Every structure is written in C-alpha cells, then in structure tokens.
Structure 1
C-alpha cells in the first residue's frame, strides 16, 4: 500500500528499517525492464542504516552492474561475499563474472594504445637458450651497410643486449641486406623479437619471409610452428615440424621443439620420445636432457626422471639449469631441504655470469615459504631477483602473493599493477588486471569494514 507515493511501512514507521528499502529495491529489480537507478537508490538508504546488510549489498551490486558501473558492482559483490563468509556460490560467481568483464574490457582498451615491449631479460634469455647455437654468418667480401648492421645486431644478441639487437636488426632490414642467407637470418631474428613482444601476425610474416628466402631454414620453420600454436592451430604447427624434418631430418632442434609442443598438449610420452631423439642427435644440449626428465616425471615415471636428472647433473656440472629444474621436482615432492640445496647451487652458478637468470632465486623463495613458512626469507629472495632483473614476471607475481598472505593488500596491489605494466599480450594483461581489480576491491572492503580483517585474510589466502 502506498501513502503519497511511498510504501506505507516506510511512510509510517518512526524509524525506517533497512529491510523496507531493500524489499522495495527487490521490486524494482523485477520491473520489466528493471529500474536499476531506483534499486541503487533504495539500497543506498538500506546500507546507510545497516552497512552489513548482505541482501542490500547484493541487490545494489545487481543494480550497479545493470547500469554498467562495474567497479562499484565488484566492490559490493566482494563485500557481500566476505560478509557472508564465502558461503554464497551465486555471489562468488558474480565476483568472477564482473572481474572477467572489467579485466577483458580494460585490457582491450589498453592494448589499443600500448607500445610493444620486450619481456624480462630472464624470459628472453631462456627463449634464445632453447635453440642451439648456429654457425656464425660470414659477410660478403664487399658488405653493404645493411650487412654490417646485421653483424652488429648478431653481436648484440651474443652479448645478451636484446634491446640493442632489436634496434639494429630493424635498421639492417631497412638499409637492405645484400645476400640471401643474411636476409633470411635478419627476418628470422626480427620475427623472433616480434613473437617475444606479442606481435603474432608480424612474427608470422617475418618468419615466412625467412622461409621463402631460405626454405632450408629449419629454425624459422620451428619458430613459425610456435606461432601457429599461439594462434590455436596445432595441426598447422605439426605440418611445419614435418616440413622442417624434410629439410634436415638430423636437426636436433626440430625434435626438441616438437617435444615442447607435445608437452604443452600433455602428451608426455610422445614428448619424451622427441626429447630422446633430440638428445641422440646432439647430447651436448642440456635442455633436451632436462625436458626428458620433466616429461618422464609428468608421465608418472618418477624413478626414470630422477635417474635422468642425476645423469644430467653429472654431465653438466657447470650448468645451473639442471640444478634449478631438479630442485623444482624435489619441491613438488616436498623434499624441501634437498630442493633448497639445488636452488642454492643454481644461484651460485648463475652469479658467475654477467647477466644471471633469477628463476632459481624465486624458486628458493617459494621453497622456503612452503617448507618453513618463512615469508621474510621468501620475500628477500624475490626482491634480490628483482634487483637483478626488475621485470622478472615470476618474481613480481610471487611477491604479490606473499604480500597477500600477510594481508599487505596495498603492497600486493602495487605488484599486480607492475604485472599489468609489463604484460606483453592481451591474455597476460587480462590475467594481471584480474588480480589487480580483485585486490583493489578487497582493499576497499578493508577501508569500509575495518573490523572485518579476518575474513579478508581468508580471501587473500584463497587467491
């Protein structure tokens, strides 16, 4: 019943109850179409009277979502989820739905104007290390300017000066390269860098140019197979591997990278066969041995995996990678002390290099946290890694999670912002933004409900 346009309970009650406003908001939700503005207005009134009123929070979130005010909707859905002690599956699903829409929309908008950027030094170093060294190119007797610039680009690549190598190879192509092998190598290198910055179409074009110039370029065929996988076309990827084998059936890189694709597809037995073939053709490439051991482990043959790792550690005593990856398997088995010993050895070996790979430092931090719950030591490992490689994605992500574990929500959000800043591809950016906005909504909850820190801690530990 209405009194002067207002529901009678609200009009006549000396002290209006929040339930009256919330119930009227429920009516507005069921209008056809829903009157979202009035839903929000009534829920505002209800929540002024009782900030912990979960139904009003959920209804206001529905209204805000209907109005496209998604970050505010996320705030309310998050608050309702925490206040309801995570018991409402529908509200939890709403949090995920709105988070996905916010992150996806924001990522698409940000990618329009984002300049391409190289990933971290650690990432690039690992990518190039996954290919065996090629014989040095010999310049023509009378090299052109472009030829000489290409030589400088390859020298920069050998020195792990990746930004300089990218600049120089672009200049070399623009200046013009006088002989086929040089042009093929230039397009192969530029296509590789384009792949690393997330320019998949550009990478595909350059790698195809390299193949057109030098059909025998098995490395370009292997790399373009990765491009097809990135585009979700494994059939085309395997066709490229087959073409590479026709060109040179004794190139061990073909089998190693085909093994990598099979590994990604969780076909660990076939992956192991390809790693084994790669090793038979060239037993001096450490990564074929490592990946064989990892594939055996993933296939459930722990004994064979451990044996392969021990053999690899003996064969490559000065390489950090077997120590690090063996440590990861030991960590997976909760053999913490042994894992930390392997990570320490890997760190020691890496520090002998001018540009160390920092993944063993991050892994050591994770091991110390899982083993002893030593968050301080874990953070120190990640911070040390970032001092060496300020854009190491693994260190940033791990540090963010460690901050969440300690309810240092503001610090965690800064780490997630950094992840978004260095994201190269749209899926990477969506993932980073999802964490960033989820953390922001938790921080806002803490500001609005300072007495509810315990529930927030539970949510943080669940991320």
Structure 2
C-alpha cells in the first residue's frame, strides 16, 4: 500500500474523536468521521442572552422598563423571605442587563448575593454567574473569572459558568485553563455543546501549534524507514529518477561502487536500499555540473521532503521547475512534489496552482492526476478526486494503485450522495481491482476498508490478510486490521497485538504509535497514551503533523485531569 509523504500512510482520527467519551461510546474506524454534534447547549433560566438585549447604550442615563411598567424599580415587598428578596433583585438585574445597563445590573446581582441564604447554593451560583455575565460585557475578565469560580464552587457541574470562565481565560490568553473549562463543559453535556466543542478545538490547535513550533525547529532530521521510502516512490508510475532502466549503468552489470560517481552512484545506492548516502552523491553531481544534474536536483529534493526538511527541498524544486531545458517529466514531478509540500503545510491554493501548472506542462502525465486526486480527497472534494483518478486511469490503465484509489473514491462519493446503486457499482469496482491487479495490496486494503465500513467484517478481515501477504513488510495493513478487530470483536488486547506487529515490521511507523495512543486514551491509560504520542511526535515529518499529535496528547492529558476532578469514570466502548 503506497504512502504519501504528506501523511502518516493510513489516516488518523481527529482530536475529538479520541476524546474520553463519558457515557457515549466512540465509533472506531480507519478513516476520520464527523466529530461535532451541533445542538443548543443547556443552562440556567437567567436572562443573559445577547439576543434579548435592546440597543440602549451601556452607561446611558435611561432606565429600563420595569416589571411594574412605570419606569421605576420594582419595590421589594416587606413580607418577602430572604430568598424571595434575592430573586426579586436578580429579576431587576436581568431587566437592566437586557437594556445594557450593566452597572445597575451588577448592583442588583450583588444585592441578590448579599441577601440570599448561604444554604441556597444553586441560587447563589446563578446570581454569581449573572453578575459575571454583566462584567463580561464590560470586559472585566478577571472579575468574570472570580465570579464564575464562586458559582462553580457552589455548583461544580454548572456548565454555563464554566463556559463563561473559559471565554474569559481565552481573552486573557490562558489557553490551558480555557481548554480545561471547555473540556469539562463538553464532557458534562455529552459533547453536544456546539460553542464549547468549537472553542476546545481551537484551543487544541493553538496549543499544539505552539508546542510543535519550537520542537520542530530543533528536531533532528531523519529518513523514514526503507519500506516507507519504497511505498512513496511506488506512488508514481514514472518519476524519472528511480527507474532501474535509465540510465543503464545502474543495473546489476554496472561497475563497482568505486567505478560509479555522483548521480549514478546515488541511483545504485537507492536501488540497493542504502539511502543514507544518496543525498551526498547527488550534491556531488550538482556541484560538478554533471550530465544528470537535473535528476540529481530532483532526487536530492525528494529525500529532503522525506526527511521533513521542506525548506531544504524548495530551492532545488524551484530551480528545476524553472529550467526549460530540463525534461518535462522531471519538471512536472517537481511541481507534484512542491504542490504536495504546500498541502502538508495547509496551503491548498498554491498546492492546486502547482498541479494546474503541471497539467499545462505535461498534460498526458498520469502521475499529476493521481496525486491531485489524493489532494482532492484530503480537501473533501470527492467528485473532483474521482475525475482526476479517472483521467489517470485513461492515461495509464496498468497502474493498479491509481485504479484502486479511483474505485475507493467512487465508493466515498456514493456514500456522500447516499446512492445505493452507485455504492453497489463502486464495491464491484473495488472487487474488480483485486482480480485485475492481483498483486496490488492497496486494492485489497481499500476493498477491506469499504467492507469494514459496511459492517462486512469477516470479508474485510480476509482482504486485509491478503494485503498483508502481498506486502508483508508494510505495517499499515496490520494497523488497519487491528482497528477492524477492535470495531468487530471488541478484542482490545488482540487488536493491540496486531498493531504492535506493525512496529515489529517498522519501528518508525508513526501511524501505529498514534493509533496505539488513541486506544490507550479510550482505555484510560493516559501515561501509556502520552508515551505513544511522544514516539509519533519524534517521527513527525512536518510541523503540521507534529501540531496534530501534540493536540492529541494535550487532549488526553486535559480530559484525564477533568475526569479526575469531576470524579467521572470514562465509558469504555470496547471493554
């Protein structure tokens, strides 16, 4: 199964999919699914909703209309109990709040707090929360935090106060405290609090980005495993540099390593799996202005991309793309790789611009459409992906990998369009792929993935086993099979053992580490989860990947902390 340098070679779950779901089982799968369930959040009955306010300016001399309708304040009745007096003060405060008279509202809420019996904790909590809402409108975030904290102290599961305090922490730049409060809100409301989910997701991204920035800057570049490199190059039908037939001096009949120089030696080292010396020999070819300097530029840049050193690859790619005397397939391949690099960095517009330029340069190059199809899938442009894969297959009907991905993209499209007939046709196409290309492991793996999603677990397992047999040194099939068994048989330990097989095959399989970390989060084993995420972070090839992994790790840590604080035990969906 081919892996692209822009991803982990098997997909990943979003940050909130690996959350500790309390009382709400999480659907486990090999591909990412929708995370947020949008619905209105609950709360108390206090009238502090912005939509109910008038346009009366804050601090104006006008008074809001009182309940008595005479423009004055509602008098407190002498025979009222202390609680009734407190409620009356709160009600007056709500009217001031709706009219944007926040100072008067604060005064009324303070009166309510002062007269309320101390044993009426729920009522007191509401009064503090309402006062915090008024202070929020004035931008007094330290006081908002203080009032919300008092409300939460009186009512530990008061989600409205928690979320208001979270927003105040956000304004103050306290991201971890904000995340802790929003996480509590999401857990207590069954992950149905729309604004809370959105704020938590933003905090995770920002925290992950901050942590990744320094870590990535100081990382030691390293090549991925030989299997990953092989899979990456196999995702091109013709990249112009790795073919053994060109130049002929690289074949078995070629001279010894001592007789070969520069690029020719780099190419022989590539085909014998001695990747560590490839770049240096390419540098020698470029510096000597050798016959294969353009091929050397492309190979050198490709290896820098594989090491996650995009900033080192860009000058070589730019230089080659601008060389009009270079072979158009080399230039098109450089555009494909630069476009994919832009996508790694989250810049889809320049990525697609590079692919458009490549089409203009070499319109009959199937690799352009194959890789653009993969990027369109990442962008959820499934219909465009189908068209690209179809064009690739028209130009090269002997490229099993592209045929398999075309089939799976059609399956994805049928799911989006909810068309049973199209789904049936797509499943038949996936099955056809395994007979037309019986040596293409990706065909069996994608058929298995679709069958898993359809609940055809036994058939999916058989096809994953065939993929493993075809490519025994490819770790990703073991990971996907482990996930299948987790979803199918709920056999946690058996699934973990399958995924660990991937690490025996390739100790640099970041997909396996990330998946194991995810499972340990679900099991409540946070120390183990953080260790797995840390291993994956060490292998991250891009800052974007590292940001995602840090977000997962932080999400696990914060949710564990909140669960302990709230004394909530996680619901284990597969125990």
Question: TM-score under structure 1 normalisation?
Answer: 0.79
1:157 partnered with 2:274: no
Residue equivalent to 2:163: 58
CA contact (8 A) 1:221 1:244 kept: yes
Query: Aligned-pair distance for 1:423?
Result: 2.6
Q: Secondary structure at the match of 1:215?
A: coil
Post-superposition CA distance 1:389-418 (Å, at most 9, x none): 223233223223323333334433433333
Matches within 5 A, 1:28-107: 30-31=134-135, 33-48=138-153, 50-107=155-212
1: CA distance between counterparts of 2:187 and 2:481? Answer: 33
Query: Aligned-pair distance for 1:188?
Result: 0.5
Residue equivalent to 1:131: 236
1:362 partnered with 2:467: no
1:241 partnered with 2:359: yes
Residue equivalent to 1:335: 456
Kindly indicate whether structure 1 or structure 2 has the higher relative contact order, using CA contacts under 8 Å at least 6 residues apart.
2
- Which stretches of structure 1, 4 residues or more, deviate above 6 A after TM superposition? 11-16, 139-147
Residue equivalent to 2:315: 205
Q: Which of 431, 439, 443 matches 1:322?
A: 443
CA contact (8 A) 1:272 1:292 kept: yes
Larger Rg: 2
Post-superposition CA distance 1:158-204 (Å, at most 9, x none): 23444x14xx3145415755454421111101111233344445434
Residue equivalent to 2:491: 374
Instruction: Return 5+ residue gaps in structure 2 as ranges.
Output: 1-88, 90-105, 415-421
Query: Aligned-pair distance for 1:13?
Result: 6.2
Report how many residues are paired.
441
Q: Which of 10, 23, 27 matches 2:131?
A: 27
Query: Aligned-pair distance for 1:40?
Result: 3.4
Query: Aligned-pair distance for 1:338?
Result: 1.4
Residue equivalent to 1:401: 518
CA contact (8 A) 1:188 1:207 kept: yes
Q: 1:297 to 1:148 in 2, by over 3 A?
A: same
CA contact (8 A) 1:238 1:258 kept: no
2: CA distance between counterparts of 1:376 and 1:326? Answer: 25
Post-superposition CA distance 1:115-160 (Å, at most 9, x none): 4444555543321111245224356999999972434432332234
CA contact (8 A) 2:386 2:406 kept: no
Matches within 5 A, 1:403-422: 403-422=520-539
1: CA distance between counterparts of 2:259 and 2:339? Answer: 30
Aligned residues: CA RMSD: 3.9
1: CA distance between counterparts of 2:198 and 2:257? Answer: 62
Q: 1:346 to 1:177 in 2, by over 3 A?
A: same
Q: 1:374 to 1:41 in 2, by over 3 A?
A: same
Residue equivalent to 1:190: 300
Residue equivalent to 1:224: 335
Query: Aligned-pair distance for 1:71?
Result: 0.6
Q: Secondary structure at the match of 1:30?
A: helix
Query: Aligned-pair distance for 1:438?
Result: 1.7
Question: TM-score under structure 2 normalisation?
Answer: 0.65
Post-superposition CA distance 1:361-384 (Å, at most 9, x none): 112112212222222222111111
2: CA distance between counterparts of 1:414 and 1:58? Answer: 31
User: Whose helix proportion is higher, 1 or 2?
Assistant: 1
Q: Secondary structure at the match of 2:474?
A: coil
Instruction: Return 5+ residue gaps in structure 1 as ranges.
Output: none
Q: 1:57 to 1:139 in 2, by over 3 A?
A: same
2: CA distance between counterparts of 1:430 and 1:252? Answer: 33
Query: Aligned-pair distance for 1:17?
Result: 4.8
Matches within 5 A, 1:405-444: 405-444=522-561
CA contact (8 A) 1:410 1:443 kept: no
